[in-house]
Each structure stands twice: as C-alpha cells, then as structure tokens.
Amino acid sequence: MKRYVIIGNGVAGATACENIRKNDPDGSITMITEEDIPFYYRVRLPEFISGDITEQELIAKKEEWYRKNNIDLILNQRVVKGDKSERIIETDKGKRLEYDFLLIATGSRAFIPPIKGVNKAGVFTLRNIRDARDIVNYADSVESVVLIGGGLLGLETGNALRKLGKDLMVVEFFPRLLPRQLDSLRAKKLQEIMEGMGFSFRLGARTQEIKGEEKVEGVILEGGEVLDADMVIISAGVRPDIELAKTMGLRIDKGIVVDDHLRTDVDTVYAAGDVAEFNGMLYGIWPAAMEQGKIAGVNMAGGDMKYTGTPMANTLKVLGVNLASAGDIDPDGLLESRTIEKQDVYKKIVIKDNKIVGCIMLGDTEGFNRIKKAMADKRDISDIKDRILEEGFDFNLLN
C-alpha cells in the first residue's frame, strides 16, 4: 500500500488528493496544513471581512469529504523539514511522517516591501483565514485605511472595509489599476467607478514610511505627502513558500522546479500550485493550481499525464463587475485589435498574425472560454475577426 503525503490544503493539494484517490482506492493519504480549517476559497476572504459570508461558508471541502475519501487531515501544523533520502517529513510540533510519494503544495506568502514601520500594530496582509480574522477584529476600532497596492485582492479587501464604513485610500506604484488585467482606458474607467463609491487614489506613488509610535498613525509618501490612516493593508504581491524545499535540498529557482509530470528533481517528490515553477514560469492563478494538482495526483498514483502550461487568464468579479482577461492585453496599443464599448460593457481582442493573442471583457464575459481555446489552439481568425465582438456572434465558430 502506497503512502501519500500532501503538504498544503489549497486547491492544488485538494485536487491532488481527489485524483490520487480516484486512481488508488487503497493507498493511505495524509494531508497536512498549518491552516486551522479545511480547504476553503481564499478568493472569498474579502466577503468574509465585509460580513457578506460566514467562515463556514468559505469552506469548500467539509470534514465529511475527507472522511468519505479516507484522507487523514492534520490541521495546525507546519512542515518545517524533510529528508528526501529517508522519505520523512517533520512538523513544528514534532510529528514525523514517512511517505512513498510527497506533494509540496505550500502555496505562496505575502510579499512585504521594505517600508519603514511595517511592523507596527495595524499593518496587515491578507493570505489566509487568520489574517482575515485579525483584520476584522482590528477594523472595529479604526476609521481610515490606506491600502498599499492596487491589485485585485487588494481592491476587493479595500472594498470589504469600505462596506464596513471605513475611508479608503489606495496607494499604487503603477500609474493605473490592475495593470495585468486592464489597459489604460479601462483602468481609468474602473478608477472612476471606485471614486464614485468612496475610494481615493494616489497612483504612481511610493510609500516611504508608516507613521506612529507602536501602532499606525498615518502614511508618508515619497515626496512628503502624509495620508490619514489608522490601519494599513499591504497587497504588494506574493512569493512562493519554498522554505521546506530548501531544507530538503530540492532544485529551486523562482519556485520549486518541476518537469512536465510535476516531479521535482527527486522522483518521489512532486510540487504543484503557486510554489511550482514550470518552464521558468510561476503561474499563481487558480486554474493552473487545479490543473497541476490533478496531474500531480494522477502521476503520483501511477498515471502518465503531462503538463504543458496553463493560459494566463483570469475570470474575476471586481467590485461586482465581471472581468475576464487573458494573454497580451496590449496596453500600449502596439498590436492589431478589435473593441466594442457600450454602457457598462467593454470588450477587446488583441490580434497578431491573424491569431488572438489577448482579450479583455469587462461587464460581459460571454464567449471568454471559446476565445481562450482559440488562443491556445492558435486558430486563424482572418475570416471572422471583424465579427467576433458583434452582438449575437456564435462563439462556436471559434472551434
């Protein structure tokens, strides 16, 4: 009987467990995580902060799912070291586990820029449920919040705090919001919508210092402007959690380097999700983590699936507005494109050599999956490129 150990209970780890069990009904599966609840939807943490959903509603896989699939779930323990030769891992509480196959799906941790004052009380990042609980508790006693970083999770977190009645100021280094998902015109439109909701912005700005003795009392920008703040949320990106891989001596570059079977440089050790680096790339998106978890799980259980990469695409809801983007969004207008804009809907396809290389859909995401497939298939669209964004277009024509 094979012994499988999965480290991390995010989407990569959970999907791997599911596929191991499908392919090996008898092997023992142990999932171990430093989280204190089972697999949950991290992307919905802002909804928990705003009070729109409860903690129980965050959970994607209830404890019964683990029991039904005969998975031993160990919560509240971080794996701190491992021996790839002896095939043993050890937790911060001294628990030792032997394995035949190991999956490292430890995800990523929030990046905290070297800003003076980041260790003061009232400075938070949001990566897990504990962070969300701490933010909710601290927000009770504050009025003004500065959000450092204008990415998606940061804006959603800011909106959650706005719903709680807080004044929100966003400080973003880039000159526009969501630079990976929106071009300049659409980013400006989103900014106007958010300003109408009560947000304020400082774009193209850097934070120099977080003021205060022991707790946050303001934020100083480079140039000297002082912003009112009782609380600071830092949303400046993430870094893969590679600490365990370092202790095991696995091959590391930006993340844990894996091959097309999601194996590391050790045959019995696999990696998937935000921590895995494939062909020099860290993906950091939910669809990639799910696909990698599936392939790793199948292969650990004796299968032979190959990973070829995941299109860099996101389907999101920004402050209640549907947004989908993929590939090269051509923010500087250097490539051929087709656009359509009416009321609260904007769509853009970016074209190179008569093939779709990028797409933005704001307000209406109909046909997005077909467009992604056409991108992946490198489908020649010369005969239909002027019609794709027309109302009533049959996206089956992209097949």
Please identify which residue in the block is written with the tokens 């941790």: 109
Q: CA-to-CA distance for 361 and 322, rounded, in angstroms? A: 8
pTM of the full structure: 0.88
Q: Write the DSSP assignment of 36-85 as a string of letters.
A: SSSSB-GGGHHHHHHTSS-HHHHBSS-HHHHHHTTEEEE-S--EEEEETT
* Dist. CA 34–CA 22, nearest whole Å: 26
Q: What's the rounded Cα separation, in Å, for the pair 364 and 356?
A: 18
Nearest residue to 145 via CA among 129, 157, 133: 157
Tell me the domains of the chain and their CATH numbers. Answer: 3-109+238-300 (3.50.50.60), 123-234 (3.50.50.60), 314-398 (3.30.390.30)
- By three-state DSSP, how is residue 102 classified? strand
**Cα–Cα distances in angstroms (integers) from residue 272 to residues 76, 251, 258, 275, in the given order:** 21, 14, 8, 6
Output the CA torsion 63→20→89→292 (10° steps).
-100
**pLDDT at 22 (0 to 100):** 96
Q: Give the residue from 337, 285, 147, 327 showing the smallest Cα distance to 229.
A: 147
Residues (pLDDT < 50) of the chain are none
| pLDDT value of position 201 | 96
What angle, rounded to 10 degrees, do the helices at 11-23 and 286-300 form?
Answer: 30
* DSSP notation for 229-268: -SEEEE---EEE--HHHHHHT--BSSSEEE-TTSB-SSTT
pLDDT for position 264: 97
For residue 159, give the amino acid letter: N
Local structure of 35: helix, strand or coil: coil
* Distance, CA of 233 to CA of 88 (rounded, Å): 38
DSSP 132: H
Q: What is the Cα–Cα distance from 318 to 314, expressed in whole angstroms?
A: 11
